[in-house]
């Protein structure tokens, strides 16, 4: 049996984050698209995916740690729905599932559904806004690779899951195949902060525009540019709410709102004449 921890190059007490980082690093290194024509890289990629599918799932990892090679055999056939409680007689259980090794009986007389599989995916905020897709590769029990393309709907947020029916672990004796779930993480954006369906951003505005009024151009996630009108004598830190310019709401034609905070940009390197005029303005306003 392969040592999944050794395949990923992590210790047996590695954290979930350590396992995820190791998987991403190795998957990039050995991906078939990067190593075209290299059968050793393809085989390594299969091993890495197989190891990550077990170690990234807390329940599967616990069973793998406890039962070793028997659990590996259990996972390869895609068994699901079996209660591995402390009262289970494992000798009887595996004889039922795999047959009596001494007599050579098959013992495959139980219909079992395949297990569901979770796969983490990262999206940019732009991808979450427009909707996107991911092409994923998984190692089958027989060692071949299967490739699937999954559509991810617009408006999806961190923590949401995309269900792909019938793409999980295979069942046994007519049992249905499990489902695949993509677990989404939306990465932070440099200009926009997301809160549910709403977006928040801060735009720099010159002191003169705040005093006299004017317009500010704001690029949006949609690819369009919003013209924000600043009324005269707008205070620094004022928040403008623009309805319908936030994130799309999943499976809905509606959008959240956009909240824009103005941040004053003061002039620097004032000339003597400019300083005199500012002082005159202060005198005239009595401040």
Q: Which single residue is written with the structure tokens 């909707």?
A: 131
CATH 2.60.260.20 fits 193-285, yes or no: yes
Domain boundaries, the chain: 193-285
Q: What is the pLDDT of residues 190-245, one digit of tens each?
A: 999 999 999 999 999 999 999 999 999 999 999 999 999 999 999 999 999 999 99
Q: Tell me, what's the pLDDT at 70?
A: 52
Q: Tell me, what's the pLDDT at 174?
A: 78
pTM of the model: 0.60
Q: Which single residue is written with the structure tokens 């959008």?
A: 255
pLDDT tens, N- to C-terminus, the chain (287 residues) = 568 888 899 998 899 999 989 988 888 888 877 777 787 888 888 888 888 888 888 888 887 776 654 555 554 444 444 444 444 444 454 554 445 544 444 444 567 788 888 889 999 999 999 999 999 887 776 777 888 999 999 999 999 999 999 888 887 777 888 899 999 999 999 999 999 999 999 999 999 999 999 999 999 999 999 999 999 999 999 999 999 999 999 888 899 999 999 999 888 888 888 788 878 877 877 77
Cα–Cα distance list, 248 to 139, 194, 228, 238 (Å): 35, 12, 21, 25
The continuous run of DSSP H or E covering 129 comes out as helix 125-130
Cα–Cα distance list, 157 to 57, 241, 277 (Å): 21, 21, 51
18 three-class SS: helix
What distance in Å separates the CA atoms of residue 57 and residue 120, rounded to the nearest whole number?
11
What count of other Cβ atoms lies within 10 Å of the Cβ of residue 39?
9
99-112: buried (b, 16+ CB within 10 Å) or exposed (e) per residue? Answer: eeeeeeeeeeeeeb
Can you point out the beta strands (E) in the chain? 117-123, 132-139, 145-152, 161-164, 180-186, 193-195, 198-206, 214-219, 225-230, 239-242, 258-265
């Amino acid at each position: 049996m392969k040592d999944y921890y050794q395949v990923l190059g992590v210790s047996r007490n590695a954290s979930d984050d350590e396992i995820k980082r190791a998987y991403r690093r190795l998957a990039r290194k050995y991906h078939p698209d990067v190593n075209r024509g290299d059968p050793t890289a393809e085989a390594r990629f299969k091993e890495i995916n197989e190891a990550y599918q077990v170690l990234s799932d807390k329940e599967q990892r616990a069973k793998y740690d406890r039962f070793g090679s028997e659990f590996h055999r259990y996972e390869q056939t895609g068994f699901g729905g079996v209660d591995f409680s402390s009262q289970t007689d494992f000798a009887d259980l595996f004889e039922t599932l795999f047959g009596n090794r001494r007599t050579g009986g098959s013992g495959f007389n139980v219909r079992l559904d395949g297990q569901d599989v979770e796969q983490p995916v990262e999206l940019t905020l732009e991808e979450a806004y427009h909707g996107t897709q991911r092409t994923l590769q998984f190692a089958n029990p027989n060692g071949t690779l299967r490739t699937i393309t999954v559509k991810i709907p617009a408006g999806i947020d961190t923590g949401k899951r995309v269900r792909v029916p019938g793409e999980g672990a295979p069942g046994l004796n007519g049992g249905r195949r499990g489902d695949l779930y993509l677990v989404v993480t939306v990465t932070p954006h440099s200009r926009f902060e997301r809160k549910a369906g709403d977006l928040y951003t801060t735009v720099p505005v010159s002191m003169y525009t705040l005093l006299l009024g004017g317009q500010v151009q704001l690029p949006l996630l949609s690819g369009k540019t919003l013209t924000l009108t600043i009324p005269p004598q707008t205070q620094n830190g004022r928040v403008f709410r623009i309805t319908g310019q936030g994130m799309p709401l999943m499976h809905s034609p509606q959008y959240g709102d956009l909240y824009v905070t103005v941040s004053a940009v003061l002039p620097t390197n004032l000339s003597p004449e400019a300083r005199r005029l500012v002082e005159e303005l202060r005198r005239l306003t009595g401040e």
